[in-house]
Chains A and B, each alone.
Chain A
Amino acid sequence: MTSVTEAPKASFRLGMLIYDTRYRSMTIQVIALALLAAVLWWLGSNLSTNLAAKGKDINFSFLWNRAGYDIDQQLISYTNDDTHSRALFVGLLNTLVVAFVGCILATIIGVFAGVARLSKNWVVARLMTVYVEVFRNVPLLLWIILAFTVFSEVMPQISDFKITQAMIDSGTPPAASMLFDGTVALSNRGTNIPYPLLTRPLGGFEFLGIPFNFSFIAIVGVFVASIMASRALNHRAKVIQEATGVRPVTWWKNVGIIVLPVTALLLALGLHWDVPYFPTTETGATKGFNFVGGVNLAHNFTALVIALSLYTGSYIAEAVRAGIMAVSRGQSEAAAALGLRSGRIMSLVVLPQALRVIVPPLISQYLNLTKNTTLGMAIGYLDLKGTLGGITMNQTGRELECMVLMMMIYLIISLLISAGMNVYNASTKLKER
Chain B
Amino acid sequence: MKKSVFLGTLAATTLIAGMASASTLDDVKARGELICGSNTGLTGFGAPDATGQYVGFDADLCKAVAAAVLGDASKVKYVPTTGETRFTALASGEVDLLVRNSTWTFSRDTDLKLDFVAVNYYDGQGFMVKKDLGVSSAKELDGATICIQTGTTTELNLADFVKSNGINYTPVTIQDDAEGQRQFLAGACDAYTTDASGLASLRATLPNPADYVILPEIISKEPLGPVVRHGDNQWGDIVRWTYYALVAAEEKGITKANIEEVATSTTDPEIKRMLGLEGDLGAMIGLDKEWAKRAIAANGNYGEIFEANIGASTPIGLARGLNAQWTQGGLQYAPPFR
A binding-site residues for B, Cβ under 8 Å:
42, 46, 49-50, 53-56, 68-72, 80, 152-153, 157-159, 188-189, 288-290, 292, 296, 298-299, 377-378, 380, 382, 386, 390-391, 394-397, 399
Contact = CB atoms under 8 A, between A and B. Distances in A.
6 contacts: A68-B159, A188-B187, A290-B145, A382-B173, A394-B83, A395-B107
A160 B243 CA distance: 50
Contact of A380 (B20, B141, B145, B172): B172
Contacts of B183: 152
Contacts of A188: 186-188
Given A152-B186, A188-B187, A377 B107 contact: no
A296 B155 contact: no
A69 to B, nearest CB: 5
Interface string B10-23: 00001100101000
A289 B138 CA distance: 13
Given A386-B173, A394-B151, A158 B187 contact: yes
B275 to A, nearest CB: 37
B84 A80 contact: no
Interface string B166-187: 0001111111000100010011
B91 interface: yes
A386 B150 CA distance: 9
Given A54-B231, A157-B187, A289-B190, A399 B88 contact: yes
Which of A49, A70, A378: most chain B Cβ within 10 A? A70
A386 B288 CA distance: 47
B113 interface: yes
Contacts of A296: 170
Interface in B157-207: 158-160, 163, 169-175, 179, 183, 186-190
Given A80-B163, A391-B151, A55 B231 contact: yes
B84 A72 contact: no
A296 B143 CA distance: 13
Which of A152, A382, A394: most chain B Cβ within 10 A? A394
Given A152-B183, A158-B187, A390 B143 contact: no
Contact of B132 (A53, A71, A159, A292): A159
B230 interface: yes
B145 to A, nearest CB: 6
Interface in B37-52: none
B170 A55 contact: no
A390 B84 contact: yes
A145 to B, nearest CB: 10
A42 B13 CA distance: 13
B334 to A, nearest CB: 30
B284 interface: no
Contacts of B87: 394, 397
A399 B113 CA distance: 13
Contacts of A396: 107, 111
B144 interface: yes
Which of B113, B141, B174: most chain A Cβ within 10 A? B113
B131 to A, nearest CB: 12
Nearest to A70: B171
B155 A69 contact: yes
Contact of B113 (A56, A69, A152): A56
B2 to A, nearest CB: 15
A290 B84 contact: no
B312 interface: no
B30 interface: no
B103 to A, nearest CB: 12
Contacts of A377: 175
Contacts of B172: 72, 189, 298, 380
A46 B143 CA distance: 50
B156 interface: yes
B227 to A, nearest CB: 13
Contacts of B187: 157-159, 188-189
Interface in B58-114: 83-84, 87-88, 91, 107-108, 111-113
B77 to A, nearest CB: 23
Given A70-B171, A290-B170, A382-B173, 18 more contacts: A49-B20, A54-B113, A55-B231, A56-B113, A68-B160, A70-B155, A71-B171, A72-B171, A72-B172, A157-B187, A158-B145, A159-B132, A289-B141, A380-B173, A380-B175, A380-B179, A386-B173, A397-B107
A50 B155 CA distance: 31
A158 B230 CA distance: 47
Contacts of A298: 172
A394 B231 contact: no
A394 B171 contact: no
B126 to A, nearest CB: 18
Contacts of B18: 42, 46
Interface in B113-170: 113, 132-133, 141, 143-145, 150-151, 155-156, 158-160, 163, 169-170
Nearest to B14: A42
Contact of B20 (A50, A72, A158, A382): A50
A153 B186 contact: yes
A292 B156 contact: no
